[in-house]
Structure 1
Amino acid sequence: MATTTGAGVQPDLEKTVSRRSHTNAPPEELLASDADAELLAKLGYKQELRRNFTMIEVFGIAFSIIGLLPSIASTLSFSIPAGPIGMVWGWFLASMFIFIVGVAMADLGSAMPTSGGLYWWTHYFASPKTRNALSFLVGYSNSLGLIGGLCSIDYGFALMFCSVIVIARDGNWTPSNGVVYAVFLCCVLLHGVLASTLSKIMGKLQTVFVALNIILIVATIIALPVGKHLSSERNDAHYIFAQSENLTTWPTGWAFMLSWLSPIWTIGAFDSCVHMSEEASNAAKAVPYGIMMAIGSAWILGFIIMIVIAACIDPNLENVLGSSFGQPMAQIYYDAIGKHGTLGLMSLLFIVQFVMGLSILVAASRQTWAFSRDGALPFSSFFRPISKRMGYIPLRTIWGCVFVAAILGLLCLIAPAAASALFSLAVAGNDLAWGIPIFCRVVWGQHKFVPGPFYTGDRFSKPIAWVAIIFLVFGITLAMFPDGGPDPTPQTMNYTVVINIAVWGGAMLYYFVDARKWFTGPKITIDVSALSEEQQAALAAEGLDLGVGEGLVPGGGMQPQVEGVQEKVHEKGDTESN
C-alpha cells in the first residue's frame, strides 16, 4: 500500500502492524497466516475472523448466491417479453458487461481485501471533501442492497415452494399473500439458525452448494430437450437465435434492452467475495479470482441454459408468462416433462434457491459487521463483537440482518409490486455501491492505487473501470423502468426509483444532520501505541481514523499528536486534489 509519507515508512509500518496484529489475535488459535494478517494490518485492522475459506470456496459462495438456474427462473418475466433474441443475446451481452464490472472490482479486491471493501475503497480513493459522505453512502447502499438480496432470494423461494404445491394440486390452489409471507419468514429464520451454527463448515458447504447448482443445471439441460424430442415440438435454430417478440408497449429495441434485467438481477452479489476476504486464505488472490470465476461461469452456463429454454419454450409466450403455476419456469418444465418431472425439478430448484439465501446471509452479515466495526451503523457497539464460542463469526449481525429482512418482507402482505420494488435494492443499491469506489479510483485516487497480485495492467485497468462505471449507471437506470410499458398504472408501476431514492436520500440526510459529526471513515483496530509519529502518519494517509479505534492508548500525550498528524495529512490531500 502506497503512502504519502515517504518510501522508507511503509516497510517498518508493515512489520510493526503485523507484529501488533498477531499480539492482538485471540490466543486460542491462529486465525490467519502471517501474510494475510500482515496485509489486513496494512489496512488498519487486526485479524478477528478465522480464515477458513479457500479460493474455490470463495468462488463457491459467490456462485451459490448467483444460484444460476433458480435466479433465471425468477427473472424470466424480464426476458421472455423480448422473445428468444432477448433471452439468448440479451443474456450474453449483459453478462459480458457484468464480467467487465467484476474485473474492475477484482483489481481493487486484490490490492485491498477487507470485509468492508467497497466503502473502504471509496474512503481511500475519494477526495478529502467527499470521502466521508461517499463512504457512508456506499456502506449503507451495500448493506441494504445485500439484505434486499436476501429478501429477494427468500421471497423467490417462497413463491417456488408454493408453486410446487399448486402443481401437485393441478392448479386448484392459489397461495395468499399471508401464506407466501409465512413461508418467507420460516425460510429467513432457518437461514439465521444455519448461518449461526454451521460456521465451522460453511466454507466446505459452498462446494456442496456449487455441486447442487451444477446437478440442477445439467438435469435441466438434459431433461428439457429430451422431453420436447418425445413430443417433436422443439423450436428450430432460427427461432432460438433470431426470433424477436415484443409483449410490452415499449418500442421493440427498448424491450430488448429490458431483457438485460434478467442477467443483471441474476449475476449479482459477486461482491460477496470481497466481504469474505477476512475469512479467505491468500485473500489477495482468492478474492479477484473468486469474482471472475463466479461471473464467468454464470455467463457461459447461463447462455447455454437460455439456448435450451428458447429451444423448448412454447412459442405462444403469453401462455408461459400467464401460467397458472405462477412461475414461467414451472410452465416450461410442465410442457416438456409433465407433472411428475416438473415436481422433481421444481423441488430441486427451490432447494438450490434456499442455499442461495443462506450464502447471501453470510455475506450480508460480514458487510454489516465491518460497517459496525467502523461505527457507522446504529447500535454499532452492540453489533460489533465477534462470537468466539460460535466459531469467530459476527453472530449479532447475522441476526440483525434476519430481523431487518423479516420486517422488510412484510411488504409481501401488501402487493408483489411493493415487495419487488424493495427487493430491487439488490440491483440498484449494489450497483451504486460497486460503481462509486471504481469511479473514485479513476477520478481522484489513481495516483494512490498500488496493484495487488491480480492486476489488469496500466494500459487496460482504467478503460475497464470506465466501461464498468457507464454500464452500472445504465443498469441503475434500466432497473427503474416499468417493464410493461410507459404510462403504468399503480399496480404495474415500478417503485424502484421511489425506494432507492428514499434509501440514498435517507442515508445522506442522516449523514449531514448527524453522522458527519462523528463518522470519519474506517477506524484502525490494531494497537498503535508502539507506532512512531511517521508510522501513525502513514496509516492516517490511508484514510484511517487513528483517534477512535479499538486498542488505542486513551488519553496521555499521544492523542493530540495523532490528531495533528491527521490534520496535516488531510491538508496535504486537499492541496493535491486542488
Structure 2
Amino acid sequence: MATEQLDVDLAARDDLQKLGYTQEMSRSRGLPHILFMTLAIMAVPYGLAAPIATSLVGGGPAVMIWGWILVSAFTQALALSLAEICSKYPTSAGAYYWCFRLASPRYKVLLSWVNGWLTMVGVWTIALSVTFGTAQLIVAGAGIYYPDWVATPWQTYVIFLGVTAVTLVFCLFFNKYLPTIDIICACWTALGITVTLVCLSVKAAAGRRSISFALGGFDASASGWTSGWSFFIGLLPPAYTYSAIGMIASMAEEVHNPSEVLPRAMAWSVPIGAIWGVVFLLPIVFTLPDVATLLSVPSGQPIGVMFTLAMGSKGGGFGLWFIVFGIGLFCAISISCAASRATWAFARDKAIPFHVHFAKISSHISDVPVNALFLSTGIQVLLGLIYLGSSTAFNAFVGVAVMCLGASYAMPVAISLANGRKDVRDAPFSLGKAGHVVNGIAVLWITFAMVLFSMPAVIPVTRVTMNYASVVFVGFAAISAVWYMINGQYHYSGPPVPRDTSPQSTPAPSKLD
C-alpha cells in the first residue's frame, strides 16, 4: 500500500513539473481529508446562521429554505465547472494559472494578473469575514447571559485578535494535524446539525410554526424592496456559505493524486453541504421566534437570542450557539490555511511585492509557508481596524469576498466557454456534452450575484445601510491596476511555461454525459 501511494505521489510530482512547478510540499491529504476540508471551509451552519439577519430582512423562512436550494443548484454548476478545469491543471496557483493556460497569448498575462489579485483580495477578505464573524459570535454568546451588555467596537476587535491568534497557532504549529482536524470538524458539524434538529423539534419553546409559514412565509417589509428583489437580497447567506468553494485548489500540491481527488471533492461537497443546510434550516423555520424581536437585537447578531427563545432557557440556547461557534472556529482554521497557500502560490510567481520573501517554505516548520501565512494574517488584522471607524464599511468585506472569489472562479470558466471548451476536452474529470450548459449557468449565476451583492439590503439607503461592497471592490481593483503599471508589467510574466505539454499521467476521463 505504501509503495502504491509513493508511486501516485511520484506521478503527481511529475505532473506538477509538466505544469511548470517544482514539488516543494509533502502530499498528505487524500479524498476524505480534502473533502472534509472543503466542508470545513463551507461551514454550512455557521455560514447560514452568522448572517441570518440578512435572510430575515430579505423575507424570512421562504428565503431561507428555497433560497438555499436555489443557490445550491447554481453553485453545483460552478463546482462542476471548476472541477473540470482543476482536474487538468491541479496546481496551488488555481484560477489565475487556469486563466493563463486558457486565454489567448495576447491577453493571458493581463488576465492572469487580474484574476490573481481578485483571488488574493477574495481569500484575504473571506478569511477575515470568518475570523471576525466568529468573534461576533462570541459577543452573541455572551449576550445570552448578559443581555444588557453591548460590546464596543474595540472590545469586538480584541476578541477578533484572539480568534486570529488561535487560527495562527494551529496553522503554524499543528499543520500535520490539520487533515485530522478537518475530519473532526466534519463529525462535529454532522453531530451538531443532528443535535440542533432534535433539540429544536422537541422544545419549540417559542411555539411551532405551520408548514405554510415554515416553507412559504415571506415578508419583504423590513427591506423596503419589492418582493421579488427582496427575495434575492436574502440570498447573501447561502452565497456567502458557498463563496469559497474553489479555495481547496490552493491545497493541490499537498494532495495525493490531485487531478482525481480535487475534482471529486469539489463536485461532492455541494450536494453534501446542501443536504446539511436543509436539515439545519428546517427545524429553525418551524420553531422561529418573532422576527421583529430578532431584528431588534442591539448587536445585530440575533443567533444567541433566537436559540435561547426557541429552547426556552439560556443553557439550551448557549448549547446550540456553542455548536455553531465550534464550526466557525474550525472554519477559521481551515480557511486561513488555504488563504496562506494561495498567497504563497501567487508570491511564487512573482506577483506580490517582496515575492522572494513570501514564496519561501519554512525550513523550521515543516511544509508551512510561514511568511505567506503571516502576510495573510497581517492583512486581516489591518483590515479589521476598519471596524473601529465604521462597522458598515467593514461589513462590505463580506460582499467583497463573495464578489472577488466569484469573479475569479467565473473568469477561467468563461474563457474556456468562449474557446468552445476545446482546451478541457481531455480533462480527466470531463463534463462531456453537458459542459456548455453547466458552464453557462455557472457564469450567469456569478454575474448576477456580483450585481446583487453590490445592492444595499435595506432601502431607503442611509449612511448606515449603504452597501460599500462595490466601492471596496473598485478600490482594490484600482490598487491592483496601479501596481501592475508600476511593477507588474515589468516583472510579472505569468506562471512558468510548462516543461512538457503532453497529456498528464492521470486516470481515464470520467464522463458526465
TM-score band, normalised by the shorter chain? over 0.9
Q: Distance in 2 between matches of 1:280 and 1:54?
A: 6
Deviation readout 1:189-214 (Å, 9 max, x if unpaired): 22112101111121121101111111
Alignment root-mean-square deviation, CA: 2.0
Amino acid at match of 1:294: S
* Partner-residue secondary structure (3-state), 1:523: coil
Tell me the residue number matched to 2:179.
Answer: 203
Amino acid at match of 2:185: F
Indicate whether 1:523 and 2:499 are aligned.
no
Q: Distance in 2 between matches of 1:389 and 1:94?
A: 43
Tell me the residue number matched to 1:176.
Answer: 152
Larger Rg: 1
Q: Distance in 2 between matches of 1:75 and 1:132?
A: 37
Amino acid at match of 2:369: P
Deviation readout 1:1-51 (Å, 9 max, x if unpaired): xxxxxxxxxxxxxxxxxxxxxxxxxxxxx7971221122122111111111
Is the 1:143–1:368 Cα contact (8 Å) retained in structure 2? yes
Tell me the residue number matched to 1:512.
Answer: 485
Tell me the residue number matched to 1:123.
Answer: 100
Tell me the residue number matched to 1:245.
Answer: 219
Say if 1:152 and 1:106 are closer, same or farther in 2 by CA, change over 3 A. Answer: same
Q: Distance in 1 between matches of 2:340 and 2:217?
A: 44
Q: Distance in 1 between matches of 2:217 and 2:344?
A: 48
Task: Report the CA distance between 1:445 and its aligned residue.
Answer: 6.9
Indicate whether 1:377 and 2:352 are aligned.
yes
Q: Distance in 1 between matches of 2:327 and 2:458?
A: 29
Tell me the residue number matched to 2:442.
Answer: 468
Q: Distance in 2 between matches of 1:119 and 1:336?
A: 46
Determine which of 118, 127, 131 is the counterpart of 1:150.
Answer: 127
Tell me the residue number matched to 2:116.
Answer: 139
Tell me the residue number matched to 1:559.
Answer: none
* Partner-residue secondary structure (3-state), 1:292: helix
Is the 2:84–2:424 Cα contact (8 Å) retained in structure 1? no
Tell me the residue number matched to 1:553.
Answer: none
Q: Distance in 2 between matches of 1:389 and 1:91?
A: 44
Determine which of 452, 469, 474 is the counterpart of 1:478.
Answer: 452
Indicate whether 1:33 and 2:9 are aligned.
yes
Paired residues in the alignment total 497
Tell me the residue number matched to 2:22.
Answer: 46
Tell me the residue number matched to 1:268.
Answer: 243
Q: Distance in 2 between matches of 1:200 and 1:304?
A: 32
Is the 1:163–1:326 Cα contact (8 Å) retained in structure 2? no
Indicate whether 1:358 and 2:333 are aligned.
yes
Deviation readout 1:243-276 (Å, 9 max, x if unpaired): 2211211001111111211100112212122111
Tell me the residue number matched to 2:67.
Answer: 90
Deviation readout 1:381-425 (Å, 9 max, x if unpaired): 001111243122211111111111100110121122111112333
Structure 1 unaligned residues grouped into runs of 5+: 1-29, 529-534, 543-578
Pairwise mapping of residues 1-40 of structure 1 onto structure 2 (< 5 A)? 33-40=9-16
Tell me the residue number matched to 1:59.
Answer: 35
Q: Distance in 1 between matches of 2:32 and 2:102?
A: 30
Is the 1:417–1:492 Cα contact (8 Å) retained in structure 2? yes
Tell me the residue number matched to 1:342.
Answer: 317
Deviation readout 1:313-349 (Å, 9 max, x if unpaired): 02x3111121256422222211121211111221232
TM-score normalised by L of structure 1: 0.83
Is the 2:206–2:309 Cα contact (8 Å) retained in structure 1? no
Is the 1:31–1:48 Cα contact (8 Å) retained in structure 2? no
Q: Distance in 2 between matches of 1:32 and 1:420?
A: 44
* Partner-residue secondary structure (3-state), 2:118: helix
Deviation readout 1:283-342 (Å, 9 max, x if unpaired): 11111111122222111221222222110102x311112125642222221112121111
TM-score normalised by L of structure 2: 0.93
Indicate whether 1:498 and 2:471 are aligned.
yes
Q: Distance in 1 between matches of 2:448 and 2:398?
A: 19
Is the 2:69–2:274 Cα contact (8 Å) retained in structure 1? yes
Identity rate of aligned residues, in percent?
A: 25
Amino acid at match of 1:59: L
* Partner-residue secondary structure (3-state), 1:454: coil
